[in-house]
Structure 1
Amino acid sequence: MTLDSSQALVDLLARLRRERRQQSGLDAALVPSDPDTAYRIAARVEAELGWTRLGWKIAATRPEMQRALRASSPIYGRVYAPFLTSSPAMMEAAPLLHPLPECEYMVRLGADLPPRARPYTEAEVREAVASISPGVEVAECRFVADAAFPPLEAILADGTGSGTLVMGAPIEDWARQNIPDQPVVLRVNGVERRRGTAREAVGHPVEPLTWLANELSRTGIGLRAGEVVSTGTCTGMIKARAGEEHVADYGEFGEIRIRFA
């Protein structure tokens, strides 16, 4: 990318976020050349927006999801503070951009994981976790899902389709709970539509969190105490429509309710 084209993409993505709208396709000259370039564009979009970063989302944690998203590894994106809410939640459907609710465990960090030369171990990352909560990410994308949908690098620059996080109460004594094998069921208007477990999708939520800690360390960003990380879908995606109520049932860990008005 040239300096002019990268700035044009930054301006475009920031404008689409501010205006809460999508566009079909993207000029090939504006598509980042590789994932690292795309992530640098995403950082510049954050600076251009001036919004407080809440934390991060992780996606494509398993090979089948990577194939669907045209990725060769897990991917991540920034999540912004205005787009965090608690359950039960009411969301206006009309302004949302092809909203895709995904049942995900959400981790809040209690300690920094700054950039360093040595990779973080899973044990070190686990020690930095303050809490784990059930949640739903309502993902959105600034590009219309049509025949002109741009390459993955454009999606990474757009924050990997980050939208709103709906969090439940923290899981009591999470380190002693069998989080990986807890069934997670998504019901829409009372009808089961999706089912899964963390083990099938991400293993334990600390596993994708460790991957993210090392990716952000490698790129000189790091993770900060207080940040929230949505660790990847346990149930896959489903489009939400006006008038629907989505209930993510995490069994003994609680439920997440979202009504799309």
Structure 2
Amino acid sequence: MDLTAQRELARLLADLRRAARQQSGLDPRLVPPDKDTAYRVAARVAEELGWDVGGWKIAAMKAEMQAALRTDSPIYGRVFAPFVKATPVTVAHATLLSPIPEVEYQARLGRDLPPRDRPYTIAEVTDAVASLHPGLELAECRFVHDQAFPPLPAILADGAGSGTIIYGPAIEGWRDRDVPAQEATLSCDGTVRRRGTAAAALDHPMAPLAWLANELSRTGVGLKAGQTVSTGTLTGMLAPRAGQTYVADFGPFGSVTLTFT
């Protein structure tokens, strides 16, 4: 995929984001041939938009979710600053692009993790985290989920389906609490629909954060202080409808509320 095609895809994806619009399928010549090319296009999308990067999303840390998302490794995408929001959040369902709410821990960085030759350890990454929050990721996709849905590299170029991340109050003393074992639930209109733990889905939220720091470092991109990283779903995915309210409940760690009008 030459630079001209990469730029064309980046302009298309930036235009779709600006217009909050989806399209069916993608011209095969614009489908990136591999993940590295896809991530380069995603960086070009950010340049085209000119929006500040407020954070990042991570998905598919373990084999089950990798199979569901058609990947053989974790994936990531940029989340833009206007779409990092505090709970509660209300959104108009009709303006969203195949929205999927996912229960996730979100880590806010207190210092930069710049690119470097030596890999970051989990301990180093943990030390860089200013706060950990209960949260929801509201994923969206610029491609319609139909028979023409393009291969994974096109989705990675689209920020791995990044949309909005919603965070709750910081979890007090999280470093000394049993984060992996804490059950989190996703409720719809008061009925629990999904349950999960970080232990089952991620091992610990710092594990995907360390993976992201090293993956970005490998490609010359760093994490920045103040960015919020949504570390991966604990409870799988649901498709919401207008009029519904979703609550991500982390028990003593807090909760996050998202309403679709």
TM-score by length of 1: 0.99
CA–CA distance in structure 1, aligned partners of residues 129 and 166 of structure 2: 19
Is 2:182 aligned against 1:182? yes
SS at match of 2:38: helix
CA–CA distance in structure 2, aligned partners of residues 62 and 241 of structure 1: 28
Match of residue 119 from structure 1: 119
CA–CA distance in structure 2, aligned partners of residues 3 and 226 of structure 1: 32
Match of residue 37 from structure 1: 37
Percent identity of the aligned residues? 61
SS at match of 1:224: coil
Match of residue 156 from structure 1: 156
Match of residue 106 from structure 1: 106
SS at match of 1:94: helix
Match of residue 199 from structure 2: 199
Give 1:4 shift. Answer: 2.3
CA–CA distance in structure 2, aligned partners of residues 69 and 259 of structure 1: 26
Structure 1: segments with no counterpart, 5+ residues: none
Match of residue 254 from structure 2: 254
CA–CA distance in structure 2, aligned partners of residues 7 and 211 of structure 1: 28
Structure 2: segments with no counterpart, 5+ residues: none
Is 2:216 aligned against 1:216? yes
Give 1:209 shift. Answer: 0.2
- Deviations along 1:183-232, one digit per CA (max 9) or x if unpaired, are 11111011111110111101110000000000011111111111110000
Q: Which amino acid aligns with 2:201?
A: A
Say if 2:55 and 2:84, in contact at 8 Å, map to a contact too.
Answer: no
Match of residue 173 from structure 2: 173
Instruction: Tell which deviates more after alignment, 1-10 or 88-97.
Output: 1-10
Match of residue 46 from structure 1: 46
Structure 1 stretches of at least 4 aligned residues deviating more than 3 Å after TM superposition = none
Give 1:2 shift. Answer: 2.2
Match of residue 67 from structure 2: 67
SS at match of 1:232: coil
How many residue pairs are counted as aligned between the two chains? Answer: 261
SS at match of 1:16: helix
Match of residue 23 from structure 1: 23
Q: Which amino acid aligns with 2:157?
A: A
Give 1:146 shift. Answer: 1.0
SS at match of 1:105: strand
CA–CA distance in structure 1, aligned partners of residues 88 and 199 of structure 2: 26
Say if 2:183 and 2:197, in contact at 8 Å, map to a contact too.
Answer: yes
CA–CA distance in structure 2, aligned partners of residues 4 and 42 of structure 1: 15
Give 1:3 shift. Answer: 2.5
Say if 2:57 and 2:229, in contact at 8 Å, map to a contact too.
Answer: yes
Match of residue 78 from structure 2: 78
Say if 2:87 and 2:258, in contact at 8 Å, map to a contact too.
Answer: yes
SS at match of 1:29: helix
Match of residue 235 from structure 2: 235
CA–CA distance in structure 1, aligned partners of residues 7 and 255 of structure 2: 42
Q: Which amino acid aligns with 2:185?
A: V
Say if 2:86 and 2:166, in contact at 8 Å, map to a contact too.
Answer: yes
- Deviations along 1:108-160, one digit per CA (max 9) or x if unpaired, are 01111111111111111111111000000000000011111100000000000
CA–CA distance in structure 1, aligned partners of residues 3 and 85 of structure 2: 37
Give 1:165 shift. Answer: 0.7
SS at match of 2:194: strand
Instruction: Tell which deviates more after alignment, 82-91 or 162-171.
Output: 82-91
- Deviations along 1:167-194, one digit per CA (max 9) or x if unpaired, are 0000001101111111111110111111
Say if 2:40 and 2:157, in contact at 8 Å, map to a contact too.
Answer: yes
TM-score by length of 2: 0.99
- Deviations along 1:58-84, one digit per CA (max 9) or x if unpaired, are 001110111111111100000001111
